[in-house]
Amino acid sequence: PLVGVRINQHCAPNDETLDSLKQDPALFLIHKNGFAFQSTPECVPFLLKQGHASLQSISSYLSLAHIDERYIQEPLLDLCCGRGGKTAICAEQGLSPFASDFSIQRLSQLQTESSRLHLPYIPALLINASRPLPFSKSFNTILIDAPCSGLGVISRRPDSKYRITKKMISELVNTQKSILEHACSHVRKNGTIIYITCSISPEENHNQIASFLSRHSSFECVQEFLPDYTSPMNEFFYTAVLKNRA
């Protein structure tokens, strides 16, 4: 797989270093602050140590970077933040996200990572997103980097194709449905849900969103990015942006 590097907008390296990355012979792709290389440039370990950059799959970065910025507004909640890769993208862009996850270990990793990147403090809550959310407030944006089968990133996790069963996908689809149901009641008028998976399973992607929209007529899909099976990056993500018109 390609080596993905995300430059930290909040604490960027100097222009000379950026130019060297752009001219590196191993460079495969650039999009905004995301780079993909066929091998790791010599300066990357230094950039990581200084908090100027993070290692992140370019496909994972693009799943959020492709979204129209008007659909990512504060107050913003990253509901299934994991170790905080997409939370950090938002913070690096000057937003002040809230983060939550069901794993205290992942939340700890998020705080460690945000410290390395010299980001402002990110409030992090221990929450099971598949259950009713403990918020009295609503948000303009809720980001759901949904738990999924990972069938779109088999190039990085080749054992997945042997572990994932139809029953597991069915259970994941039910979990994703619960997360969407609980999230939607906390989205403000004209606010958005951003739903992302690293799966190629239609049940987890377009079909999941179509089912959600059939139950919630106040929401509409304003952007959708389907997995591009012709991509030479060999990683496949799905993104849907759902706007609440109510």
pLDDT bin (cut points 50, 70, 90) of residue 106 is very high
> Looking at residue 155, what is its pLDDT?
84
Tell if the pTM clears 0.85, that is, is over it. Answer: yes
In the predicted model, is pLDDT for residue 162 greater than 80? Answer: no
pLDDT bin (cut points 50, 70, 90) of residue 112 is very high
**Average of per-residue pLDDT across 160-180:** 93
**Average of per-residue pLDDT across 41-59:** 97
In the predicted model, is pLDDT for residue 160 greater than 90? Answer: no
> Looking at residue 159, what is its pLDDT?
77
- Three-class SS state of 230: coil
Residues 172 and 151 sit within 8 Å (Cβ to Cβ): no
- Three-class SS state of 107: helix
CB atoms within 10 A of CB 210: 12
> Looking at residue 246, what is its pLDDT?
86
Query: Token pair for residue 200?
Result: 């190629």
**Average of per-residue pLDDT across 74-103:** 97
In the predicted model, is pLDDT for residue 93 greater than 80? Answer: yes
- Three-class SS state of 6: strand
The residues carrying an active-site annotation are 198
160-175: buried (b, 16+ CB within 10 Å) or exposed (e) per residue? eeeebeeeebeebbeb
**Average of per-residue pLDDT across 27-52:** 97
pLDDT digits (tens, 9 = 90+) for 117-146: 999 999 999 999 999 999 998 999 999 999
> Looking at residue 217, what is its pLDDT?
97
**Average of per-residue pLDDT across 24-44:** 97
Average confidence score pLDDT of the chain: 96
pLDDT above 90: percentage of residues in the chain: 91
Residues 200 and 151 sit within 8 Å (Cβ to Cβ): yes
> Looking at residue 233, what is its pLDDT?
87
**Average of per-residue pLDDT across 202-226:** 98
Ramachandran angles phi, psi of 215, nearest 5°: -95, -20
DSSP H helices in the chain? 15-22, 44-50, 58-65, 85-92, 104-116, 160-163, 166-184, 206-215
